[in-house]
Amino acid sequence: MKEVTLKINGVSVTVPAGTKILDAAKKAGFNIPTLCYLKDICNDGSCRICVVEVKGQKKLITACSATVKDEMEVFTSTPKVIAARKTTLELMLSNHNKNCLSCARSTNCELQKLSLEYGCDTKAFQGAVTKSRVDENDYLVRDNSKCILCRRCVAVCNKIQTVGVIGANNRGFASEIGCAFEKKLDNTSCIACGQCINVCPTGALHEKDDTAKVIAAIEDPEKYVIFGTAPSVRVALAEEFGYPIGTDAEGKMVSAIKRVGADKVFDVNMAADMTIMEEGTELLARLKDKTAALPMITSCSPGWIRFIEFYYPELLPHLSSCKSPQQMFGAIMKTYYAEKFNIDPKKIYVVSVMPCVAKKTEILRDDEAAAGVPDVDVVLTTRELARLIKAKSIDFAALPNEEFDNPIGQGTTAGLIFGATGGVMEAALRTVADVLTGENLEKIDYKAVRGTAGIKEAKVKIAGNEIKVCVAHTMANARKILEDIKAGKCDYHFIEIMTCPGGCVNGGGQPIVPSYISNNVDVKALRAKAIYDKDKKSGLRKSHENPVVKALYEEYFDHPNSHKAHHILHTTYHKREKY
């Protein structure tokens, strides 16, 4: 590939032809500020914050969209550049809700950060303000008074998830981000993935905050409050307290939740193990039944479930009938646990801590109430749990490492790796392989399904059988696979699909990493590494070896896919009308 040499602020740098000035500057050691730019997603130069000066040109150009040229001389912080960026920021602020003290993104807002760095005057420009509105539903809040029209949310909805339910409405000063025909978001085919929240640079988008419900339940003496935490929460929560990306804070997380006031704190890894038992058994049954719908597709990710219900309802028979680990967890709490400890299920209040915004919609689905009451009462995202801990004035850094409560607190690291794309598949293969061979296999690292490639394929030979599997994350990749299934081009036996890029570690409810970091660091890979590192050191790496799971079947469910298990641990799906 041809290379180009140029100077940036007097520093010579050589990069491949076609490189953007923004990336060349980074290589030379200079960070150019951005707001609309997202690596591999959005670089249309609309915000004008990344403008730079090029020798010989009168006009400033945008570094995120302009490519380098041989012998080009670029200046990233001349008085002219600084003045232009400051003016642009002040114009944004003139039309921005500056109620920063109570904003969900305060201190982690990219507009706030740049305004401080450039010494902006919030009153430099005053006058008309765009009329805006708040769109609120069960899982998300859009406040356009805080929107800067960067269109990152639009780009991720269109390019990464191929859902495209939001875009720019109106023109000129009246422009706003919204849905077609001014519909509310919950009246569209939105899959509730929350990725729009993760890429928003300001507080224009945030999850529906349910921390008040949890506090009320804890303070209610009639409520028995049980917390269950998802696998990927433990490798992300600490970021909200200043720890490096990918820090495993399981012990401190448990300790913090106990101090919040929970009656019990359990690990949803246990329910992930139950999912493997039910799902693996279902897969084996389908492989034997020539009339069964193959490939079988996982059902753990609620955004994915909404996607297939909206866009490919004809393929619903391919879904596993298993509830997600979250819902299995809640169902077990309000059936087995309630009976074992003689607690009225109506008094048990299950709080699920998830990396996911779509989980807030999942608890509202039909056929998710095994005990006649909702399996799960409320979902907190990782970010909401952090806010709850802070609201209780708990010193996270000073906390000791504590363990999950017994008897439901034990999960295997097969359940833990659910948090990364490919994890459900690998966990299933570990159990299915032992079942088919009748052996306790030692080689259980199925690395072909690991990593952050959008679509991964593997052929696994087990006991003389060849099982062809596929793993995909994001709905753009899911759509490719579903189209192949419709066209009869797919010969997979088992498919894992996760809604979010990288899987749950990068879910829509995880700590928000500003673009000036996420554009240069693979956040999902760092969080996933923490999960796999823990799995590698674990002595309990197969779901069917979990003693809690064994006890649940012996004492209550009899065997996987039993009539009782189907009633409590399985669910149904339905076609949704696409808008």
Whether omega before 400 lies within 30 degrees of 0, making that bond cis, reads no
- pLDDT at residue 498, rounded to an integer: 98
Would the pLDDT of 341 be above 80? yes
- pLDDT at residue 343, rounded to an integer: 98
- pLDDT at residue 310, rounded to an integer: 98
Cβ burial 376-386 (10 Å sphere, 16+ → b, else e): bbbbbbbbbbb
237-266 tens-digit pLDDT: 999 999 999 999 999 999 999 999 999 999
Q: Which of 369, 327, 333 is nearest to 348 (CA)?
A: 333
Confidence of residue 43 (pLDDT cuts 50, 70, 90): confident
56-91 tens-digit pLDDT: 999 999 999 999 999 999 999 999 999 999 999 999
Would the pLDDT of 579 be above 80? no
Contact between 440 and 448 (Cβ < 8 Å):
no
Would the pLDDT of 139 be above 80? yes
The amino acid present at 434, given as its one-letter code, is D
- pLDDT at residue 122, rounded to an integer: 93
Confidence of residue 1 (pLDDT cuts 50, 70, 90): confident
Would the pLDDT of 409 be above 90? no
203-238 tens-digit pLDDT: 999 999 999 999 999 999 999 999 999 999 999 999
State percent of the chain over pLDDT 90.
Answer: 96
Would the pLDDT of 408 be above 90? no
- pLDDT at residue 192, rounded to an integer: 98
Would the pLDDT of 180 be above 80? yes
549-560 tens-digit pLDDT: 999 999 999 999
- pLDDT at residue 78, rounded to an integer: 97
Residues 81, 530: Cα–Cα separation, whole Å: 41
Cβ burial 213-239 (10 Å sphere, 16+ → b, else e): ebeebbeeeebbbbbbbbbbbbbbbbb
Would the pLDDT of 407 be above 90? no
- pLDDT at residue 415, rounded to an integer: 97
Label the pairing between strands 140-143 and 134-136. Answer: antiparallel
End-to-end CA distance of the chain: 46
- pLDDT at residue 412, rounded to an integer: 96
Q: At what angle do helices 110-117 and 79-94 cross, to 10 degrees?
A: 130
Residues 301, 324: Cα–Cα separation, whole Å: 7
507-560 tens-digit pLDDT: 999 999 999 999 999 999 999 999 999 999 999 999 999 999 999 999 999 999
Residues 23, 7: Cα–Cα separation, whole Å: 13
Count CA within 13 A, CB hemisphere, residue 400: 5
Contact between 138 and 186 (Cβ < 8 Å):
yes
Phi, psi dihedral angles at 565 (to 5 degrees): -60, -40
Query: How many residues make up the chain in this entry?
Result: 579
Q: What's the mean pLDDT in 368-385? A: 98
Q: Which domains does the chain carry?
A: 3-77 (3.10.20.740), 124-207 (3.30.70.20), 212-569 (3.40.50.1780)
Q: What's the mean pLDDT in 179-197? A: 96
89-125 tens-digit pLDDT: 999 999 999 999 999 999 999 999 999 999 999 999 9
Residues 551, 270: Cα–Cα separation, whole Å: 12
Strand runs labelled E in 299-432 = 348-354, 378-381
Helices (H), ranges, 363-502: 382-391, 413-416, 423-437, 475-486
- pLDDT at residue 225, rounded to an integer: 98
Contact between 199 and 153 (Cβ < 8 Å):
yes
3-14 tens-digit pLDDT: 999 999 999 999
Could you give the 3-state DSSP secondary structure of residue 4?
Answer: strand
Choice between 409 and 97, residue whose per-residue pLDDT is larger: 97
The Cα-based distances of 61 to 16, 141, 549, 574 in angstroms read 20, 35, 61, 50
**Burial class (CB within 10 angstroms; exposed 0-12, middle 13-18, buried 19+) of 456:** buried
Q: What's the mean pLDDT in 457-467? A: 91
Residues 302, 573: Cα–Cα separation, whole Å: 11
Average pLDDT of the chain is 96
- pLDDT at residue 578, rounded to an integer: 80
> How open is the CA angle 484-490-496, to the nearest 5 degrees?
90
